[in-house]
Homo-oligomer: A and B are copies of this chain.
């Protein structure tokens, strides 16, 4: 029955979707634009896309499901969306944890002041209309009026911009404002229309979007939204695997993110009482994989050693080629990528956090991959280290994103009982990155775990479940869902792996620069998790070296700030290109000392 289709109702979101016979629920949901968490990208090995069929027939449980689902889940009839194949119309319940949750978004950052020098400028014109004795074409008429402005260079423009020109000339009785980029026509407007810019930090998890007035430099509106690509793989490695399974997949990753970006930009423009048409230039920063997804570039070579970028150069791309809604001749600037796993977002962060020459500085941008740079004199070393998704709450027994109800602060009292604080002050339902980091620090400090991360039997709060040691963080009676929230041995190990990877990266950077941690003047910690983490805990678990805490600066979304700076100033773009060009990329996997360092840095 190759052409047979089934109707599936998805609850509680109330979406009805069509499934081709033989397709999995996950594929069908993705095609219908319903976001499901699918950390492994649909390979059936992560267990995050759990759903519960309520009605209808499905294929039998697969071995992968029997492995991933626990007894209670199996008893309740749960399935993995990537494994469940409907054989009739059906109704399926999606638990909240399988939908990308609304999340605490860090989109602000320390904003440097830059001298305004935007790429696009406004020129107002008042023209005589054509008549029988002046039959110049529209473009010739405009070009003649622009002779002084363009110093004789011919006015260039994409067809869409020329089409708009002819229409707006007549619409506005030959009184118009032109947006020009060098001698290229970007857009035509009624006189006095403000020209806007769009800055975007394209994170693997979230997009930070800013609408800026290019004449004043003011940020008119900003917003953070989830990256819809999460449905196709929680981290870039899984998304690359998904993309490489078919040309259509790669296209879908691009289209989904563009759809969300266009929607967000339109909303921000509306808040600024403007139209997306007024966006005459955009700057988009992201890691190399996000950059390639966004620009349709192939990612096969990012999925296998030696992990090279298709393009490392700064790119200037037509918004229309990408599907970004903006003025017809608008372009998107994407700064240089440094390597396959150190992207233009890191370039932007380096730009936004740069300080005066001679200052020695380490920049750490923490995510699933953590990018680290050391700036020391004229030297600039960069690397990427696989810190994993533990700080996003993934791979943690009771982990969750930094959403309402997530434990973000933990203090161990003398009696061994933990006191916890949650986002939004709600009853706890899980633990997010900053919470689990602090929990591990507190447990280590109280001697509940040893330097290898082993939970000490008999210590207060430690118990054994199914023969495995775990620490009871919040008892069922106090939680929002009536189940215990615990820290397991495995959770501690995940944190050891994550912090060990970051620390080892830092140490290799210091070695390259021939300096010690104490020689570094400023430790810049960027990114959402970096903003919320407790520095004391981070130093205590050994994620960061033990230096005075006042040398650390949590700067928030430095990449987003860098994007805004490049939107406002061509000089900033040139500086960003210089920084990326100066960076010596260090591939940690082939660095001789890295493995030993990493093993050592896993200790608590």
Contacts and interface: CB of A to CB of B under 8 A. Distances in A.
Interface string A109-138: 000000000000000000000111001111
Nearest to A587: B132
Given A140-B313, A154-B313, A301-B170, A306 B162 contact: no
Interface string A134-163: 011111100100000000001000111011
A427 interface: no
A298 interface: yes
A167 B308 CA distance: 13
A244 to B, nearest CB: 12
A320 B317 CA distance: 14
Interface string A267-311: 000000000000000000000000000011110110001111111
B313 A137 contact: yes
Contacts of A315: 159
Q: Which of A130, A137, A138 has the most CB of B within 10 A?
A: A137
A135 B585 contact: yes
B162 A310 contact: yes
A321 B585 contact: no
B139 A312 contact: yes
Interface residues of A, number: 47
Contacts of A301: 130, 138, 166, 170
Given A130-B308, A140-B313, A313-B154, A296 B159 contact: yes
Contacts of A296: 159-160, 163
Contacts of A339: 135
A337 interface: yes
A587 B307 CA distance: 64
A374 to B, nearest CB: 19
Contacts of A170: 300-301
A184 B340 CA distance: 24
A322 interface: yes
B137 A321 contact: no
Contact of A159 (B137, B160, B312, B317): B317
A477 interface: no
Given A159-B295, A159-B322, A590-B132, A312 B166 contact: no
B163 A312 contact: no
B310 A139 contact: yes
Contacts of A308: 130, 135-138
Nearest to A318: B158
Given A585-B135, A587-B132, A158 B297 contact: no
A309 B137 contact: yes
Contacts of A322: 159
A306 to B, nearest CB: 5
Given A130-B306, A165-B310, 15 more contacts: A131-B306, A132-B305, A135-B306, A137-B309, A137-B337, A139-B310, A139-B312, A154-B313, A159-B317, A159-B322, A160-B321, A162-B297, A162-B310, A166-B298, A167-B298
13 contacts: A135-B340, A137-B311, A137-B337, A138-B308, A138-B311, A154-B313, A159-B295, A159-B297, A159-B317, A162-B297, A166-B297, A166-B301, A170-B301
